[in-house]
Amino acid sequence: MKCMWNKRRNFLLLIRIRTTGRMRLAFPLLLPVLEETLEEAGDWMGIWVKLIPKPKSPLILADLFLQSCLELLREFRKLGSWHLIKIDTPEARVYIDLK
């Protein structure tokens, strides 16, 4: 099946946790979906922000936070396959990778 996303950019942030028992957890975050959701939220927030006269409203800070999240996410997607974090303790192993 042909992939609907651009293959040159990352599409998965994979968080894997392995504990000493047999428990293995994996949280795959689909980056294109997250990006689109943040874009939509940013658009909505932008509408509300325009209606607010106060320059230091919490909503404006939330909007800035959202924009920064979006920017960070876009940088994540540009990065290519990358091992971000690897934690190895006797109790658990945690891996955060970009694919």
- Interface residue with other proteins, options 40, 57, 65, 99 (CB under 8 A): 65
- Interface residue with other proteins, options 13, 45, 76, 77 (CB under 8 A): 76
Pairing of strands 82-88, 12-19: unpaired
Among the listed ranges 3-11, 20-28, 40-48, 62-70, the one in contact with other proteins (CB under 8 A) is 62-70
Q: 67 near 46, Cβ under 8 Å?
A: no
Coil, helix or strand at residue 65: helix
How far apart CA 8 and CA 29 sit, in angstroms, is: 17
Q: Which two tokens stand for residue 97?
A: 């990778």
Query: Whole-number minimum distance, CB 76 to other proteins, in Å?
Result: 7
Q: What is 56-68 written as a DSSP string?
A: T-HHHHHHHHHHH
Between 2 and 56, name the residue whose CB sits nearer to other proteins. Answer: 56
Contact between 88 and other proteins per CB under 8 A: yes
Chain residues that interact with other proteins, rule: CB under 8 A: 61, 64-65, 68, 71-72, 75-76, 79, 82-90
